[in-house]
Structure 1
Amino acid sequence: MTITDKTKPQADDKGLTALLGSTKQTTTEIIANDEITNSLIALGQGDKLRQFGDIFTIHNGDRRSNFIDTAGKVAFILSDNLHQPANLGIYTPNSDELIEVTDPSQPSAFVIGNLGLDSVWYAVKSLAEGIELYRQLINQGLNITILVSVNPFHFNNMVRHFAEVKQVIVTTTLEQIDQLTKPLVGLNVKAIITTFDLLLSFDNHQTLDDILNEPDTIIKDLLADAWADPKPINHTLPPVTSITSNMLPEPLYNYAINTAERLGVPIEFVAVPLVVALGSVIGTKVAIMPKRYDNWDIVPNLWGAVIGKPSSKKSPSITEAMKPIDNLVSKARADYELNKQEHETQKLINDSKAKIAEKELKKLADTLASQTNDDDGKDKVTDDDLRQKAAFIADSKKQDESIPIPRRHMVGNITMEKLGEIENQNNNGVLQFRDELSGFLASLEKDSEQEQRAFYLSGFNGTGSEMVDRIGRGSLFIENHCLSVMGGIQPDKLEMYLEQTMRGLGNDGLMQRFQMMVYPDPLPRRKEKDIAVDRESRDAVYELFIAADGLFEGKLASYGANESNEYYKRPYFRFADDAYKVFMNWYDALQAKADDTEHEVIAQHLLKYGRLIPALALIFHLVDCIEIGSRLGGVSLNALRAAIAWGDMLETHMLRVYSCITDNSHLKASLLSKKILEMLKKPSDKTDKTDWISHGFTARSLKRKNWKGLTDDNAVQTALDVLIEYDWLDYKEVKTTGQGGRPTERYWINPKLKSFI
């Protein structure tokens, strides 16, 4: 007699493999009239029934003293949850003997049907019940699999094992509900509880749908019963405030609000680029010294950004706001063409005069050379006569070389060398305008563009000078290196940029220079309106920009500016007495707030408001001076209060922008939570439903989805950790199929989340 020692559950265990290799498919001789085995063969399950070609004695698992005699027995092949042979159930045909399992410690089931993830799995405690349930449901056209615990005492372990892979359905009656369900709470199991036995209901010609729709039928999700109620992941953007009428001089506010109403956009989309453009026009003509005695000076060049989704109309808004400076660009171009034509005309005249003068010079030189000392009289030629004629010729040629230079207010995509050349020719600074800032910011992150990055960083201050070295073309000296920047950007692109740049050691304050940065709430969708342009405010703002463009020292002095001198190269304002006291108190409070701020990025941004607020106050004060047309003295308290109100408003927008890094964990969790809820809303999506809701998922599979904001390991793990904390997910380790492999880390979705839909 051969003895086979079955001690391990794996499919490739030599004992089980050898044993199965010594069996053959069951014949009718051994089963005779056995109802169970004949029914299984009729259902196409005969390949799972084996008989032994010899007489074996099998050690019963770890219970070494127990032996199973296989003589005259049928072996039922029992599978694990991966559909691998894991056990044998030794069955005696035509007998009431209990089926003996070779290794009771290894969970396994006799599978009726195909153990596929696309079928519905039912678990039962006996072969007779499994056969009848399979027959009934198959006849109803359902795709089902029956998991039979051939020994009813092993039922709970079997269900637990198979529920690791897919949801298992169990059935019971109201009388037996606690006995069946309590041991299975917390497993991926659904219980169907009926008044009468489910099979008896089928005897009454009811379908499964009929039974499930019965008023007394109860369906319990035993997995959900073990879960805590999920907590809401309410990551909303921090609130922001908006611009009000007291924050802008009247002509600017009227222009901005009319434009915003016509486009149906937040006023910030118009007001910010409008003020940035005006500040760039004022440029380096005048400065403000905020302190009473210190020579800290600020010119009103600003960096601004409008943040909105592609459908938010940010580009049309910026375009409308830029029209006053576009008007200056058009006028400057027209003036340049006129000056160029005048220069060409004068050059022709000068060339003609020079040719005549050169002939006259030669004639004078010949006369001087031929005359003698005895020559006298009024026709005598002297060296002074030659010098005067030569000077006239040289002056004509110098006029020809004085080619008109176009006044440049604004540039687009441009190299640093060309920008330096334009700044060299335009002493008032220039506005860098980009409809989409993401490309501009990305270009400055390249290793090859670090010189250009430094060029922009230094141009932010607006009060210094710069030398630009050009390969093969010498160097250019920029007396007033003053750059303004304005553009739009999409929230997701800005978020990606901030995540990539602000966390590292390379934060050099580039982003914090965008002090005029707004991310307003979108307006509620409205019925389309047809609103007329406010021509009065438009004309007033156009004239205001023209006046600002034409400011000069004498005019500024008439408004109350201090004149330039040997120490200060430009006129400057200081605050009026009452405004000075308010500013100093505000400045102290600003620095205290920055010191108390937890996040360094926000602290750096706040500190730059120390430059922003005086610059805005200067712009607003100059608007008042131009509007009134007379001396107003130092920068007024009203102008300062409007500027401080801007600072308060901009701070709320700044906190919203930086929330993607200061509240990064909840933002990532919010992104993932939305995707999970979308899956729960799509029960017909078999791929998502199988792989995620019923089967769980891995961090790797989540990353491979390549969802926005969840594309790197850190973001994925952050989102998972928060959702576990908020009871949206649970974390388990699942054994691998092979020997020696590490367990797979899987995440399971809280079934109670269906209540969130």
Structure 2
Amino acid sequence: MPKWLTPEPIKTNLLAVLPLDPEMIPTTLRPWLTDIAYRMKCPLDFVAATCIAMLSSLIGTRLTIKPKFHDDWTVVPNLWGAVIGDPSTMKTPSMSEVCKPVNRIAIESHNEFLLEMQRYEAEQATTDAQKKVFLSQEQDRLKGKKVEHPVSYPEIPQKPTERRYLINDATVEKIADLLNENPAGLLQLRDELIGLLAGWDKSGREQDRAFFLEAWNGIGSMTIDRIGRGTTHVNNVCLSLFGGIQPGKLLGYLRDATGYENDGFVQRLQLAVYPDKTPWSYVDEYPDKQARDNAFKLIRRIAESSFLSISYEADEYNRFAYTRFEPAAQQVFKDWLIEWETQILQNETGLLLEHFTKYRSLMPSLALIFHVVNCEADSSEVQGTQKQLVSIDAARMAVKWCEYLQSHARRIYGLLDSVSEVAAKDLLRHLKAGALKDGFKVREVRQKGWTGLTSADAVDSALSELISRNWLKEVIPPAPVTGRPEAPHYLIHPQLISQNA
């Protein structure tokens, strides 16, 4: 019986991140979001990032921003992001709670669509009957008969379309149809982003990844040709994306991004947050009804707004309605961009450089979103042709968010420096669940197909880490006289075996 030492905990040394100051949340939304985070005991970062992604999808292509004073560079505030955390950190519940206003609007929209369909079907039945009368009349006319009371060909009723806001699980072909019906854009919300990514790797779905990557900037168009469905032209490919993901599962995609499989997906998750865990305590309090009602009303106004008082209309040179920074805010953007390009990007390489390069559009997108929130919360009428340009307050808040998100990006990509620790934590979790028997071998681990533990290097690093921390012991069988040597097997600490007994 081997002698065992006390096993040591496995800790991943994460880089520090900036905390999310509640003052970085627009005033009308702040009490609602902080109340959710307090009652759920989840990081405020989770609910705030989800809310911004939701707002970006509600604005979509209905209002864009030209960040420079003279240039026609146009940015659609279409944002992707993720909440990153270990299991049981309230990722899914926090996202679901924040998206309740949009879900309510979506249900009302669906019910209205059903009523419109009923009217349409009744009109269609009348039209079909009128067509038969018209055809009978024309047959009589061709036969030389006199038509006493001629009728004209009926006007064809227009089939209604449903205003959609959210999608959860849909094929690219169906998303293309929905985008044609909803050119302002949609929000793809996933409890686990890993499910979406795994779908892209399935045989026959290889083009899905390209479609999503094209949809990130919100200004593209696409033509999809399929043998069965024919040709579909999508004029506005604008799709926001948000979901939850565990650090260990994200690490696999980060590793892929360092090689030939770097498609730029992770770098597009500009609203990705990986905060420290919130200390748990028992809370049982009523929701802040006033804060919730105010937030719901504001989100509904944004969803239904025409933005006429804060936008210049689209024309032959501008595909979408747009706005600009006011002079003071323009200077804030200019100063920020100069510093970003000359001080930050000049000192970055690799994945972080690719990630931070996309902040050029992130900052004006955030500023526009905060501007829309502030204007709709105030909703005061603007006289004449004067427009409410993006304010200096919105621009400054956007700069603070870029600084905050920059720290989270460094923590996320810093996971690549802790590959062995993350793999060891994943393997230890499976050992605690009793998924492997005492004396297992390397091939048994790889045969399980566990995320992050499919390659020989990942399994070897995980085993080495667990051995060094006294969770496992490696046993190398004696070399045989003839034949191939037997592979090493691994003994599990009795503490784990007794837990699973």
Structure 1 residue 460, shift from structure 2 partner: 0.6
- The answer as to 2:358 corresponding to 1:586 is no
What's the counterpart of residue 504 of structure 1? 259
Structure 1 residue 635, shift from structure 2 partner: 1.0
Distance (whole Å) between structure 1 residues aligned to residue 206 and residue 398 of structure 2: 33
Q: How does 1:44-63 map to 2 (within 5 A)?
A: none
- The answer as to 2:354 corresponding to 1:604 is yes
Q: How does 1:33-432 map to 2 (within 5 A)?
A: 118=1, 235-350=12-127, 393-394=152-153, 396-399=154-157, 402-432=158-188
- 2:205 maps to amino acid: E
What's the counterpart of residue 193 of structure 1? none
Structure 1 residue 477, shift from structure 2 partner: 1.6
Partner deviation per Cα, 1:595-614 (whole Å, 9 max, x = no partner): 3124x112111111221121
Structure 1 residue 430, shift from structure 2 partner: 1.1
- Structure 1 or 2: more strand by fraction: 1
Structure 1 residue 661, shift from structure 2 partner: 1.4
Distance (whole Å) between structure 2 residues aligned to residue 604 and residue 572 of structure 1: 27
**Residues 735 and 744 of structure 1 are in contact (CA less than 8 Å); yes or no, is this contact kept in structure 2?**
no
**Residues 327 and 542 of structure 1 are in contact (CA less than 8 Å); yes or no, is this contact kept in structure 2?**
no
Structure 1 residues 650 and 354: alpha-carbon distance in aligned structure 2, compared to 1, 3 A threshold: same
Q: How does 1:536-615 map to 2 (within 5 A)?
A: 536-552=290-306, 555-556=307-308, 558-559=309-310, 561-591=311-341, 592-598=343-349, 600-615=350-365
What's the counterpart of residue 485 of structure 1? 241
Structure 1 residues 447 and 646: alpha-carbon distance in aligned structure 2, compared to 1, 3 A threshold: farther
Q: What is the DSSP-based 3-state SS (H/G/I as helix, E as strand, rest coil) of the residue aligned with 1:398?
A: coil
TM superposition score normalised by structure 2: 0.82
**Residues 92 and 191 of structure 2 are in contact (CA less than 8 Å); yes or no, is this contact kept in structure 1?**
yes
**Residues 304 and 517 of structure 1 are in contact (CA less than 8 Å); yes or no, is this contact kept in structure 2?**
yes
What's the counterpart of residue 497 of structure 2? none
Q: What is the DSSP-based 3-state SS (H/G/I as helix, E as strand, rest coil) of the residue aligned with 2:28?
A: helix
Larger Rg: 1
- The answer as to 2:369 corresponding to 1:619 is yes
- 2:156 maps to amino acid: K
Structure 1 residues 577 and 725: alpha-carbon distance in aligned structure 2, compared to 1, 3 A threshold: farther
Partner deviation per Cα, 1:276-304 (whole Å, 9 max, x = no partner): 11111111101011112222211112112
Partner deviation per Cα, 1:588-638 (whole Å, 9 max, x = no partner): 33234233124x112111111221121111011011111222446321111
Q: What is the DSSP-based 3-state SS (H/G/I as helix, E as strand, rest coil) of the residue aligned with 2:231?
A: strand
- The answer as to 2:456 corresponding to 1:713 is yes
Distance (whole Å) between structure 1 residues aligned to residue 126 and residue 488 of structure 2: 87
- The answer as to 2:405 corresponding to 1:650 is yes
Q: How does 1:508-519 map to 2 (within 5 A)?
A: 508-519=263-274
Which structure 2 residue ranges, 5 or more long, are not aligned?
491-501
Structure 1 residues 398 and 733: alpha-carbon distance in aligned structure 2, compared to 1, 3 A threshold: closer
Distance (whole Å) between structure 1 residues aligned to residue 323 and residue 115 of structure 2: 35
Distance (whole Å) between structure 1 residues aligned to residue 159 and residue 62 of structure 2: 24
Structure 1 residue 472, shift from structure 2 partner: 3.2
**Residues 28 and 377 of structure 2 are in contact (CA less than 8 Å); yes or no, is this contact kept in structure 1?**
no
Structure 1 residues 337 and 700: alpha-carbon distance in aligned structure 2, compared to 1, 3 A threshold: closer
**Residues 258 and 351 of structure 2 are in contact (CA less than 8 Å); yes or no, is this contact kept in structure 1?**
no
- 1:472 maps to amino acid: G
- The answer as to 2:250 corresponding to 1:494 is yes
Distance (whole Å) between structure 1 residues aligned to residue 281 and residue 464 of structure 2: 40
Distance (whole Å) between structure 1 residues aligned to residue 231 and residue 278 of structure 2: 50
Distance (whole Å) between structure 1 residues aligned to residue 472 and residue 118 of structure 2: 75
Structure 1 residue 711, shift from structure 2 partner: 5.5
Structure 1 residue 426, shift from structure 2 partner: 1.4
Which structure 1 residue ranges, 5 or more long, are not aligned?
1-117, 119-165, 168-223, 225-230, 372-380, 679-686, 692-696, 748-757
Q: What is the DSSP-based 3-state SS (H/G/I as helix, E as strand, rest coil) of the residue aligned with 1:265?
A: coil
**Residues 464 and 480 of structure 1 are in contact (CA less than 8 Å); yes or no, is this contact kept in structure 2?**
yes
Q: How does 1:431-470 map to 2 (within 5 A)?
A: 431-446=187-202, 448-470=204-226
What's the counterpart of residue 50 of structure 1? none
Q: How does 1:624-643 map to 2 (within 5 A)?
A: 624-629=374-379, 630-631=381-382, 633-643=388-398
Distance (whole Å) between structure 2 residues aligned to residue 403 and residue 502 of structure 1: 45
Q: How many residues matched?
A: 480
Partner deviation per Cα, 1:16-52 (whole Å, 9 max, x = no partner): xxxxxxxxxxxxxxxxxxxxxxxxxxxxxxxxxxxxx
Structure 1 residues 449 and 707: alpha-carbon distance in aligned structure 2, compared to 1, 3 A threshold: closer
What's the counterpart of residue 521 of structure 1? 276
Distance (whole Å) between structure 2 residues aligned to residue 344 and residue 361 of structure 1: 25
**Residues 58 and 302 of structure 2 are in contact (CA less than 8 Å); yes or no, is this contact kept in structure 1?**
yes
Identity between Structure 1 and Structure 2 (%)? 35
Q: CA RMSD in A?
A: 4.2
Structure 1 residues 237 and 471: alpha-carbon distance in aligned structure 2, compared to 1, 3 A threshold: same
Distance (whole Å) between structure 2 residues aligned to residue 423 and residue 480 of structure 1: 7
**Residues 430 and 484 of structure 1 are in contact (CA less than 8 Å); yes or no, is this contact kept in structure 2?**
yes
**Residues 424 and 476 of structure 1 are in contact (CA less than 8 Å); yes or no, is this contact kept in structure 2?**
no
Partner deviation per Cα, 1:373-404 (whole Å, 9 max, x = no partner): xxxxxxxx9xxxx9xx76xx33x3422xx111
- 1:626 maps to amino acid: E
What's the counterpart of residue 493 of structure 2? none
Distance (whole Å) between structure 1 residues aligned to residue 217 and residue 199 of structure 2: 21
Structure 1 residues 742 and 309: alpha-carbon distance in aligned structure 2, compared to 1, 3 A threshold: closer
Q: What is the DSSP-based 3-state SS (H/G/I as helix, E as strand, rest coil) of the residue aligned with 2:315?
A: coil
Structure 1 residues 571 and 731: alpha-carbon distance in aligned structure 2, compared to 1, 3 A threshold: same
**Residues 370 and 394 of structure 2 are in contact (CA less than 8 Å); yes or no, is this contact kept in structure 1?**
yes
- 1:597 maps to amino acid: E
- 2:388 maps to amino acid: G
Distance (whole Å) between structure 2 residues aligned to residue 666 and residue 594 of structure 1: 29
**Residues 83 and 91 of structure 2 are in contact (CA less than 8 Å); yes or no, is this contact kept in structure 1?**
yes
- 1:618 maps to amino acid: L
**Residues 736 and 744 of structure 1 are in contact (CA less than 8 Å); yes or no, is this contact kept in structure 2?**
no
**Residues 248 and 423 of structure 2 are in contact (CA less than 8 Å); yes or no, is this contact kept in structure 1?**
no
- The answer as to 2:488 corresponding to 1:738 is no
Range with greater deviation from structure 2 (652-661 or 295-304): 652-661
Distance (whole Å) between structure 1 residues aligned to residue 117 and residue 165 of structure 2: 18
**Residues 614 and 643 of structure 1 are in contact (CA less than 8 Å); yes or no, is this contact kept in structure 2?**
yes
Partner deviation per Cα, 1:321-357 (whole Å, 9 max, x = no partner): 1111112201211221222222234345545666666
Q: What is the DSSP-based 3-state SS (H/G/I as helix, E as strand, rest coil) of the residue aligned with 2:242?
A: strand
Q: What is the DSSP-based 3-state SS (H/G/I as helix, E as strand, rest coil) of the residue aligned with 2:162?
A: coil
Structure 1 residues 275 and 736: alpha-carbon distance in aligned structure 2, compared to 1, 3 A threshold: same
The runs of at least 4 aligned residues of structure 1 exceeding 4 Å deviation read 231-234, 348-363, 365-371, 665-672, 697-711, 716-726, 728-735, 739-747
Q: Which one has more relative contact order, counting CA pairs under 8 Å at least 6 apart?
A: 2
Partner deviation per Cα, 1:249-295 (whole Å, 9 max, x = no partner): 11222221111122221112212222211111111101011112222
